[in-house]
Amino acid sequence: MQQRNADRTRAKILAAATEEFAERGIAGARVQRIAEVAECNKAMLYAYFGSKDGLFDAVFSASVEEYLTVVGFDTDDLPAYAGRLFDYFEDNPARLRLTSWYRLERPAGEPLEAIIAVNQSRLDDLDRAQRRRTVPKQFSSVSLLSLIQAIATNWSSMTPEYGAAVPSRLARRKAVVMAVEKILS
């Protein structure tokens, strides 16, 4: 019973913290708000995660794991990967905000092992595909992955002033997939 309550409390803290960090970033997030939403006290939050930064690291690592599970990565069909990436961030804008906060507030921070491992795995997959000649070599693996991610997330991070000029979701997704196809041709 004790472990079940601990797991439930930890999950509630992570859920509350995900929303708080996505909305306000690391600097703007407040541990007190997270504890209130999670229906626990701040001491419990610190007991589980050590610090606000430790909590953000746990939230961001969990977000990356979820993203990988949902989106996957397949060098045999990078345009489809870009389409799934587009869909993921269109359906989960809080996850894109978390990523943006991470980039903005941790540019020179301690790297997260989960992120290093994910990136290295995808780059290794791309390097192997380039050696097999199933992925063109006109871009390095890191450049190619960066371009695909930038294209796929571009619409989700557009300024609202585009307004009515923004095409439908289907048209935006199609443009993402076509752009990645062009890069690979």
Q: What is the pLDDT along the chain (185 residues), one digit of tens a residue?
A: 455 688 899 999 999 999 999 999 999 999 999 999 999 999 999 999 999 999 999 999 999 889 889 999 999 999 999 999 999 999 999 999 999 999 899 888 788 888 888 899 999 999 999 999 999 999 999 999 999 999 999 988 788 787 778 888 999 999 999 999 999 99
Residue with tokens 């359906």: 91
Helix, strand, coil percentages (3-state) for the chain, rounded to 5, are: 80, 0, 20
Domain count, the chain: 1
Which domain, by its residues, includes 150? 2-184
At position 11, the amino acid (one-letter code) is: A
Q: Specify the CATH number for the domain of residue 167.
A: 1.10.357.10
pLDDT at position 2 is 54
Q: What are phi and psi of 74, to 5 degrees?
A: -140, 110
Nearest-angstrom CA–CA distance, 144 and 135: 10
20, HSE (Cβ side, Cα atoms, 13 Å): 24
Predicted TM-score (pTM) of the model is: 0.86
Phi and psi for 110 in degrees, rounded to 5? Answer: -65, 125
